[in-house]
Chains A and B, each alone.
Chain A
Amino acid sequence: MSLTADQDTLAQFRKTYFEECTELLDALQSNLDLLTNGGADEETLHAIFRSVHSIKGGAGAFGFTALVCFSHVFESLLDAIRERKVEANPEVVGLLLRASDALTDIVNAARGGRTLAADFGADIAAMMEDALGSASEPGPASDAPIAAETKVPGEHRYQILFNPHAELLKKANEPLLLIRQLRRLGGLRVDVDTSRLPPLDRIEPEGAYLGWRFTLDTGVPKSVVHEVFEFVEDDCELTIEAERPATSVAAPEAAIAADDAELSVKPVELAAAAPSQSIRVDVDKVDRLVNLVGELVITQAMLTEQSSLLPPDQYTVLIQGIEALAQSARELQESVMAIRAQPVKSVFARMPRVVRDLAATLGKEVRIVTAGETTEIDKTVIEQLNDPLTHMIRNALDHGIEDPATRTAAGKARQGTIRLSAAQRSGRIIIEIADDGRGINREKVLAKAQQRGLVPAGAALSEEEIDNLIFLPAFSTADVVSNISGRGVGMDVVKRNVQALGGRISVQSRFGEGSRFTLSLPLTLAVLDGMVVSVAKETFIIPLTAIIESLRPRANDIHPVVGRGEVLALRGEYVPLIPLYRCFSISGAIKDPCRGIVIIVQSEHAGRIGVMVDDLIGQQQVVVKSLESNYGSVEGVGGATILGNGRVALILDIERLRIADQPASNPLAATGEAASIVSTVSREETHHAA
């Protein structure tokens, strides 16, 4: 790898480096959490060290000095911890967490090309130096016994020839560190080869002229020795040869100075696990693949449809072939979708920091427990999950968890707990955020709702209904549950974000014991189960998740509401009827509800509504396509798809269905008022029913 690489290549490397950093920082974070929760073993420590070490290595190559300096101190402390020179007590772990946060900030600053304050992280670095310093001083006293241990005969003897190139030094690698690392593996004899050293007047200050020959007696396999040189392999001549098992230990005096002979000789079990077989692929490429497979499935559906018209006895082979094709196409589609699926871990891993930062600000003691991080969900969903999740965690901390004094007074543990879990249940992902805080104060919520005219005075609401009032827009900035000012967006925005993902949100709460928010999300946004319906000559798709039932109403169940269309009496409840032909100004449709079909759907903002169509055609899985990219958004339409016959069908957005006031009028003027009619009708009628 040459440093004369042109700018593009360098930019590409930088991009890759920062992508890796993101992953490394995520891994660092989750391993540190493991350490905090006491679930850490030797390997966790090594993994933590490796993360920081890799970040430092790349930072050196790209000349991010601040990053190198900080990660160097961080790395030194981690090294001391895994060498057991520094004890990983809660204080030190806390320091590590702060250092990891600071490291994240420095990496982000480097990525964005921003400069942080010159002394950024200096305090943490100094604390880490202190932690290191206090540990290394008593060292020499305990030298002797451990040094004896060092002489445990190794099983292997390796001859290592190491001639670094100048690039190795330019990338901020230090041969001395490598030598020290080798010595930790066992007895080491070092011979310096100075033969390449030119006369003084011809020495380039940045050149590399020294070579080394090491004789290592150790118990570790060759791969571990090799791993020491992992980061420098490309920039040096390196040969590692195993000799016959060593019979005698290298003479103690042959080893380099005994200043850190206290180092443990315990064989380091560096990640023996085979590197997981994975490749890094541009998301665009995957998306292109997903689109192509979508095409294939559509074409296949069309072929299937056409083949059903053929006389089976004459075209047996063709029809069988098309059936086989259908099977493969479906499997292909599932496999491609699986590529896009990622564990929710990438989002969950960011939450502990959110909790730490906010808990510190609010003076609360909170820990976060996560479960089910390996649950996989579509990448697009994951990306859009971060904001709602962050907000809900903040909310739980801010409004849910009490301060330590209040908690103690209420007989709870000083430290509050937030549980974040994910699980897959019947084709959907369920994410729960539970806290053991004070819960929702229903009296206060109800009073507020009545005060704001959201609930008629005297209405009897169930506990669940009251809890769900917090999702109403008017509560967004309210001091409903606590007097601490809300941060960022309100729960209504969270709800909208979740709904935009095709998800649902609900809350359960016990006053004084805590609240639990449950998110239910689709596995993917790209495919949707839909009900195909027809209105006159047009075909539409209604998302199956919204549908409760469909029926053909009887005439005496239909009641007109003056000026507000009709409602359908359904088991004692009044459901507003929305004829699709009126929403979409379609002529030639069935106008009498008793001759058409009413599909009862659950709308989040208007409760149940009855969408009236001409006929049901059937259920189908459809690939969601964007209507917006080439056209624009359309009221009441969430997207489009391509049917088996190659025609486009629009997918309804139940939340945005509006009755155009008069079919012939300008559509732009119609939307606003009709919207309020729908929700008012539903609200009033539900309460009459109640």
Chain B
Amino acid sequence: MQPDHRSKTNTLGYDSLDRAAVGENTQQFITFTLGAEEYGIDIMVVREIKGWTATTMIPNAPAHVRGVINLRGVIVPIFDLRARFNMGLTVTTAMHVVIIVATGTRTIGLLVDTVSDIISVDPKAIRQVPELGLPAQDQFIDGLVALEDRMVTLVSLTGLFDSHVREPAARNVPDQTAATMAA
């Protein structure tokens, strides 16, 4: 995997790599940004990072499904992580980045703003998400990591996409439950 030249912070420097080499028991994450927030994803599931290219729409798909692309002959769906987090659709430019990840038997792409860093984290340093009273969000998050001056949210791929890739966006869930109860 090559560092992405578009990365805004470009901190794939010696500092982080050295830290990566030191820890025996550490887990590595690739961090990326959505707006001002920084998120992390387990490096082991990441297959490659590529720039945003136009997609082919999938009819009647939820808003966070941005369509499919041809990744060397494999049809790969691209999910807009910002939309998945209910923060609105990403307005894509050539500067946007797609992280190709493998989850279970599937290969999918995550549309994010930039890829910024590789961090090594001692699993003991991963903190639980404090109760924020937003149950729908909890399943997307594996934990929080505090680095010197910033906080990285570790994204749970299984929580995001495992139940069913095409499930409607989380905001629809309460509506449906209400409908079922009414019926």
Contacts and interface: CB of A to CB of B under 8 A. Distances in A.
Interface stretch (B7-15, B71-79, B110-118): B71-79
A539 B72 CA distance: 19
A648 B56 contact: yes
B106 A295 contact: no
A625 interface: yes
A634 B77 contact: no
22 contacts: A294-B73, A295-B73, A583-B59, A584-B60, A586-B57, A625-B74, A625-B75, A626-B75, A629-B75, A630-B76, A631-B75, A631-B165, A631-B166, A632-B164, A632-B166, A634-B59, A634-B60, A640-B68, A642-B73, A647-B56, A648-B69, A670-B60
A246 interface: no
Contact of A647 (B54, B58, B76): B54
Interface in B68-127: 68-70, 72-77, 105-108
A642 B106 contact: no
User: Main SS of chain A's interface residues?
Assistant: mixed
B56 A631 contact: no
Interface string A563-600: 00000000000000000000111100000000000000
Contacts of B74: 625, 630
B61 A634 contact: yes
B108 to A, nearest CB: 6
A635 interface: yes
A585 B60 contact: yes
Nearest to B65: A631
Contacts of B166: 631-632
B60 A625 contact: no
B3 interface: no
A630 B108 contact: yes
Interface in A426-440: none
A452 B165 CA distance: 39
B168 interface: yes
B177 interface: no
A629 B106 contact: yes
B70 A646 contact: yes
Contacts of A583: 59
A625 B56 CA distance: 14
B65 to A, nearest CB: 8
B172 interface: yes
A436 to B, nearest CB: 48
Interface of A: 291, 294-295, 298, 538-539, 583-586, 625-627, 629-632, 634-637, 640, 642, 646-650, 660, 666-668, 670
Contact of B168 (A298, A538, A637, A668): A668
Given A631-B68, A635-B59, A648-B68, A666 B172 contact: yes
Contacts, number: 82
A666 B171 CA distance: 12
B61 A291 contact: no
Contacts of B70: 642, 646-648
B165 A632 contact: yes
A667 B60 contact: yes
Nearest to A663: B60
Contact of A650 (B54, B56, B105, B107): B56
Contacts of B54: 647
B59 A586 contact: yes
Contact of A291 (B58, B59, B73): B73
A542 to B, nearest CB: 14
Contact of B75 (A298, A539, A627, A660): A627
A649 B56 contact: yes
A670 B70 CA distance: 29
Contacts of A640: 56, 68, 75
Contact of A629 (B58, B61, B105, B164): B105
Nearest to B74: A630
Contacts of B105: 629
Nearest to A537: B57
A636 B57 CA distance: 13
A635 B61 CA distance: 10
A295 B71 CA distance: 11
Nearest to A642: B70
Contacts of A584: 57, 59-60
Given A640-B75, A642-B75, A667-B60, 8 more contacts: A586-B57, A626-B75, A631-B77, A631-B165, A634-B58, A640-B56, A647-B56, A648-B67
A457 B105 CA distance: 52
Nearest to B172: A666
Nearest to B59: A584
A650 B61 CA distance: 14
B77 A630 contact: yes
Nearest to B108: A630
A630 B75 contact: yes
A496 B59 CA distance: 24
| Those 7 A-B pairs whose CB atoms lie nearest each other, nearest first | A584-B59, A667-B60, A648-B56, A631-B77, A295-B73, A642-B70, A640-B75
A642 B73 CA distance: 7
Contacts of A666: 168, 172
Nearest to A635: B60
Contacts of B76: 630
Nearest to B69: A648
B158 to A, nearest CB: 16
Contacts of A636: 59
B77 to A, nearest CB: 4
Contacts of B172: 666
B73 A637 contact: no
B43 to A, nearest CB: 21
Nearest to A649: B56
Nearest to B175: A666
Contacts of A625: 73-75
B60 A631 contact: no
A294 B70 CA distance: 13
Nearest to A585: B60
Interface string B159-172: 00000111010001
Contacts of B57: 538, 584, 586
Contacts of B77: 630-631
Contacts of A646: 70
B45 to A, nearest CB: 14
B59 A630 contact: no
Contacts of A585: 59-60
B163 to A, nearest CB: 11
Contact of B106 (A538, A630, A635, A667): A630
Interface in B120-141: none
B120 to A, nearest CB: 30
A649 B72 CA distance: 15
Contact of A637 (B55, B59, B107, B164): B59
A538 B56 contact: yes
Most buried by B among A636, A642, A648: A648
Contact of B72 (A295, A627, A668, A670): A295
Contacts of B56: 538-539, 640, 647-650
A277 B121 CA distance: 58
A648 B75 contact: yes
Nearest to B79: A631
A630 B75 CA distance: 7
A298 B74 CA distance: 12
A636 B105 CA distance: 24
A111 to B, nearest CB: 27
B112 to A, nearest CB: 18
A538 B68 CA distance: 12
A298 B73 contact: yes
